[in-house]
Structure 1
């Protein structure tokens, strides 16, 4: 049995964990605590281009898109829980629990899991996702959960992997006027959903899988992230030679490159690659359609609000690429503006190394994607800050 480490891109040796289940669980708890301690050592600031938050990017306003459906769905979910379950599911809206998420399947998570939910509770939990996400976003989320079952089958590990090993926590109390939100946390799908009035921030958002296509087992035929993969490549190929020269940071990819995964809330990452200011209108349209593949996972009304925000900063958006550019290549790409950061990465094998042709090389069967809101508004933190400034709170 093989396990990913807490360090993105690193591979753990087969004997790095004891093979006894109870001692493995204890090792996982220890490593989870160590990751949290290190990752949360610095107060939240947000991802920046130069270490300084760019001011004036976000403001409190009405979007005209109701959040009542998701509020009602979360209230229904909370009402379905026992007192004990509710006690470990609810946290204050500004609790550090927001930042305690990690992709690794052995991470020790809080809240109530689908594994322990009754049928009624599961229906209520999916009701939350149905209202918070678009149909496409819901399908992606469910397919990732199903592919985690495929991974459990392939690796023969049903202790830490499987379709239902996903947890929900709720931050704050669902309200029409006060800030609140929820988090879905599990292997290869993490959704942070902050709500203030009718404003929504759905980042950090993490999606991925290993494998990305099930060729056997209970969910044979499921495949995810193929549009994100192909359209990223198509955008690169539609750039002219000068633009490609700027976009391609390295034509070879031999390792993992995602920079903004778990506990990277304050990373300093300058803009790199080709600038959309030099793009033609068709190229800009392609870029925005690629962004929409990610943003469009949230409910349609708020996705439009978010895309309008992205469009306002199109001139300052950069597109960067690492890796090859043919139909069999593995690669990494990044879309970066003052208000959005998207990473797509073909990763090295982790739990399926024994099936890999070269276990040290990235593969198209292991993908990680991350969406962030730079300059302090991941988890809706900048909106929360402004809300606190304008409203008296204990």
Structure 2
């Protein structure tokens, strides 16, 4: 990752030793406002609202009723990445121009690499369809719009098997894109026309490169368990299971080692449109990158079950490859204070009460 905007050696780290209970996460949120509304984020919010409205206008009345849900619906926070019934409008129910409008909505938040990531998840669903049957369906990925685009708070979600992108615009100039989950099954396609395809392989390769470049003391500090966990820890409603950040402090790495960790983080954050990426880089810097920790669990032998994460005061990136003979990845990027726009939404509601 280029160093524009990161410059880890110039920062003043805020070390975070206590467990991220709800209290400490809220304290971190108080110290780390999600950035004042900048011209960049105001422009991004307008772009996203325009794309959402164009998508909704493309739908007929029945489709619109399926796609739109109240912002305060509990369903907005009910994210998951398993095959299950979902509210919203499925891609398979859209005509081609409507699907194009949906993709333009995704492109209002994601860059080309981000769009290719979404495509890759659905491509793998097609691979599973060939192997397991028609219940695996690349058309069963749902767009849901919460609230009214342009009227704060509002947001949208794109979700299906192995995918959950949650975009929230809780107040003017604030855009949240987490939780952002992607999965890959198979992690490596073994045969057929897509043989060799590794949707999330670059993340694994970087994490292995990080571990290979550590000295014995560093590797011991980074290794938090002999076996992988079998699942990401911060799966839906399980954030509290994380405990305090564990692993090797980035502040105890060399510059070259830290650059690799930044590149690993970029595999997640670097899927965003340029203005939103700049906002998220600033978010990371405010936490003090030297206080982040890199952790590994499981075997270092390629092909064996493994897990890794990068964990800061509120930013969390996880990757687990254990299931199906270590050929099934679950990966997530979360913001433990600002998922679903919670931090700015709380400020928004407080301000409403005082008017």
TM-score by length of 1: 0.78
Aligned mates of 2:242, 2:267 — CA distance in 1: 25
SS at match of 1:115: helix
Query: Over residues 76-129 of structure 1, what are the superposed CA-to-partner deviations in whole Å (9 max), with x where a residue is unaligned?
Result: 111112222222322232321121121111x11001001111112111111111
User: Which structure 2 residues correspond to residues 182-201 of structure 1 after superposition, within 5 A?
Assistant: 182-195=156-169, 196-201=171-176
**Who is 2:334 aligned against?**
372
Query: Over residues 178-235 of structure 1, what are the superposed CA-to-partner deviations in whole Å (9 max), with x where a residue is unaligned?
Result: 2221101100111001123333211111101211333445655543111111001111
Question: Could you say if the C-alpha distance between residues 97 and 269 of structure 1 is closer, same or farther in structure 2, counting changes exceeding 3 Å?
Answer: same
Query: Over residues 20-44 of structure 1, what are the superposed CA-to-partner deviations in whole Å (9 max), with x where a residue is unaligned?
Result: xxxxxxxxxxxxxxxxxxxxxxxxx
Q: CA deviation at 1:392?
A: 5.0
Question: Could you say if the C-alpha distance between residues 244 and 265 of structure 1 is closer, same or farther in structure 2, counting changes exceeding 3 Å?
Answer: closer
**Who is 1:381 aligned against?**
342
1:82 and 2:43 are equivalent in the alignment: no
Q: Which of the pair is proportionally richer in helix?
A: 2
TM-score by length of 2: 0.86
**Who is 2:6 aligned against?**
none
Aligned mates of 1:76, 1:343 — CA distance in 2: 34
Aligned mates of 1:311, 1:125 — CA distance in 2: 32
SS at match of 2:108: helix
1:202 and 2:143 are equivalent in the alignment: no
Query: Over residues 253-295 of structure 1, what are the superposed CA-to-partner deviations in whole Å (9 max), with x where a residue is unaligned?
Result: 3x50411122335545211111112122222222111111101
Question: Could you say if the C-alpha distance between residues 316 and 385 of structure 1 is closer, same or farther in structure 2, counting changes exceeding 3 Å?
Answer: same
Match of 1:307 among 281, 286, 293: 281
Structure 2: unaligned runs, 5 residues or longer: 1-18
Aligned mates of 2:316, 2:226 — CA distance in 1: 21
Aligned mates of 1:60, 1:231 — CA distance in 2: 29
Match of 1:152 among 104, 120, 129: 129
Structure 1: unaligned runs, 5 residues or longer: 1-47, 350-361
User: Which structure 2 residues correspond to residues 6-17 of structure 1 after superposition, within 5 A?
Assistant: none
SS at match of 2:81: coil
**Who is 2:226 aligned against?**
251
Aligned mates of 1:380, 1:393 — CA distance in 2: 20
Aligned mates of 2:159, 2:97 — CA distance in 1: 20
Aligned mates of 2:186, 2:303 — CA distance in 1: 16
Question: Is contact 2:293-2:311 (8 Å) kept?
Answer: yes
Question: Could you say if the C-alpha distance between residues 327 and 95 of structure 1 is closer, same or farther in structure 2, counting changes exceeding 3 Å?
Answer: same
Aligned mates of 1:60, 1:336 — CA distance in 2: 20
Aligned mates of 2:101, 2:313 — CA distance in 1: 36
